[in-house]
Copies of this chain bind each other. A is one copy, B any other.
Amino acid sequence: MLGNFSYSNPTKLYFGEESLSFLNEELPKYGDKVLLVYGGGSIKQTGLYDEIMQILAENGKQVFEDAGVMPNPTVEKLTEGCQIAKDNDVDFILAVGGGSVCDYAKAVSASAFCEEDPWEKYFIRKEAVDNPIIPLGCVLTMVGTGSEMNGGSVITNTTTTQKIGRVFGEDVFPKFSILNPVLTYTVPKQQMVAGFFDIMSHILEQYFSNEDDNTSDYIMEGLLKSLIHSSKIALENPTDYEARSNIMWTATWALNTLVAKGKSTDWMVHMIGQSIGAYTDATHGMTLSAISLPYYRLILPAGLAKFKRYAINVWGVNPEGKTDEQVALEGLSEMEHYMRTLGLVLNIKELGATPDMLEGIVAGSFITKGGYKVLTKEDIMSVLIESMNQ
């Protein structure tokens, strides 16, 4: 474990098929005016909207709605949500949806009472939140992002073509999150597998760094093996409760700060992926899957020992009679085979990226410094071109 750090996580999780009923325990802790935040309306088709509205009514809540949160929530949407929250002086935000909805709800929670432009203050300049924060609870309907137990939030500015992430402090973390695996059954297959890869990418962004024998690396290998095991089952049978529930739990622990403790972290795949997202509006998980293999093959020589360990401990590669590089590359081949089995997008052209966008995507990719190699702009361009050729 490197350096000094602190750990705590204030979010309470309710997990399982019956977990929605715990809204009745949590809602009385907050005031009567509730802002219900959700996405495109699929929760109305599944009946979840009615169920939640009934629970809110039974708890005597006055409900205001902020619907239509898009997969890549925009600055304009954020302005709209903040206005609704502020105009109605809401006491509590209840987000119902996947990572985009939760991310967006955190931005509203932190920004509604911000007296400046929150995009500038909280996303560009990343200042500490010094205005009142509206408490937030989440009901998850998709898995992948881990947004249910962290301070992460990503907002897209379509005018400047920037998709920028911000990690808020514990005071913006959801007070509680409700994780019912059954609610994730109705997600379309492409969304489901994109979520699976988002989980994998979160783990790998934290795994591929440092050379010490960190306990966090061992925990991550366990999470990866669990994910690979259960995702194959879920692909065959999306209503396998064991598989979907284990994936949901893995997603939470992949990005709730635990596995980053005592490590540096990379996040370069997310930086390029977010820039692609800003240009194409593609599903987040697919932007990650399309560039991961070219990126990892590029940095492999700089982190050879860890890539070898990854191949052996996660993918079961037999190292006998092989060079370290052969073992490491075989691990990435196994990963590619798994990704193709899931049906993930491996080529950014399939996401709508065109050659004329590449310069802009490169320019919009913030370069991180926690991984095995600090990329040049040429490196990023080569990753994008490799993706277009795979």
A interface with B by C-beta (< 8 Å): 1, 3-19, 22, 181, 212-223, 225-226, 229-230, 242-243, 245-246, 248-250, 253, 258, 261-262
Q: Given A213-B229, A222-B218, A223-B215, are A242 and B1 neighbors across the interface (CB < 8 Å)? A: yes
Q: Report Cα–Cα, A246/B219, bound state, in Å.
A: 12
Q: Given A22-B6, A222-B220, A222-B222, are A249 and B215 neighbors across the interface (CB < 8 Å)? A: yes
Determine the residue in chain B with the shortest Cβ distance to A19.
B4
Shortest Cβ distance from residue A96 to the other chain B in the assembled complex, whole angstroms: 19
For this chain, the copies found in one complex come to 2
B218 near A225: Cβ-Cβ < 8 Å:
yes
Indicate the member of A10, A215, A258 with the most B CB atoms within 10 Å.
Answer: A215
Contacts of A16 in B (CB 8 A): 1, 3-5
Determine the residue in chain B with the shortest Cβ distance to A170.
B12
Contacts of A22 in B (CB 8 A): 6
Q: Report Cα–Cα, A218/B314, bound state, in Å.
A: 11
Contacts of A217 in B (CB 8 A): 226
Determine the residue in chain B with the shortest Cβ distance to A8.
B12
8 A-B residue contacts at CB 8 Å?
A4-B15, A4-B18, A6-B14, A7-B12, A7-B15, A8-B13, A219-B219, A222-B223
Q: Report Cα–Cα, A215/B5, bound state, in Å.
A: 26
B261 near A249: Cβ-Cβ < 8 Å:
yes
| 5 pairs of A and B residues whose beta carbons are closest in the complex | A4-B16, A222-B222, A218-B222, A8-B12, A218-B226
A9 near B9: Cβ-Cβ < 8 Å:
yes
Q: Report Cα–Cα, A376/B235, bound state, in Å.
A: 43
Shortest Cβ distance from residue A210 to the other chain B in the assembled complex, whole angstroms: 11
Q: Report Cα–Cα, A1/B6, bound state, in Å.
A: 28
Residue from B11, B15, B222, B248 in contact with A5 in the complex, judged by beta carbons closer than 8 Å: B15
Shortest Cβ distance from residue A127 to the other chain B in the assembled complex, whole angstroms: 22
Determine the residue in chain B with the shortest Cβ distance to A229.
B213
Q: Given A222-B218, A229-B213, A253-B219, are A15 and B246 neighbors across the interface (CB < 8 Å)? A: no
Residue from B6, B11, B18, B215 in contact with A8 in the complex, judged by beta carbons closer than 8 Å: B11
With contacts A1-B242, A1-B248, A215-B249 known, what are 7 further pairs, Cβ within 8 A?
Answer: A3-B16, A9-B9, A213-B230, A213-B246, A215-B230, A215-B250, A216-B249
Shortest Cβ distance from residue A203 to the other chain B in the assembled complex, whole angstroms: 12
Determine the residue in chain B with the shortest Cβ distance to A220.
B222
Determine the residue in chain B with the shortest Cβ distance to A251.
B215
Contacts of A213 in B (CB 8 A): 226, 229-230, 242-243, 246
Residue from B4, B6, B17 in contact with A4 in the complex, judged by beta carbons closer than 8 Å: B17
Contacts of A248 in B (CB 8 A): 1
Shortest Cβ distance from residue A246 to the other chain B in the assembled complex, whole angstroms: 5
Indicate the member of A212, A218, A262 with the most B CB atoms within 10 Å.
Answer: A218
Residue from B6, B11, B242 in contact with A13 in the complex, judged by beta carbons closer than 8 Å: B6
Indicate the member of A1, A229, A246 with the most B CB atoms within 10 Å.
Answer: A1
Contacts of A181 in B (CB 8 A): 1
Shortest Cβ distance from residue A12 to the other chain B in the assembled complex, whole angstroms: 4
B219 near A261: Cβ-Cβ < 8 Å:
no
Shortest Cβ distance from residue A275 to the other chain B in the assembled complex, whole angstroms: 32
Q: Report Cα–Cα, A262/B243, bound state, in Å.
A: 13
B219 near A262: Cβ-Cβ < 8 Å:
no
A212 near B242: Cβ-Cβ < 8 Å:
yes
Q: Given A4-B16, A12-B6, A246-B1, are A219 and B223 neighbors across the interface (CB < 8 Å)? A: yes
A246 near B215: Cβ-Cβ < 8 Å:
yes
Determine the residue in chain B with the shortest Cβ distance to A233.
B213
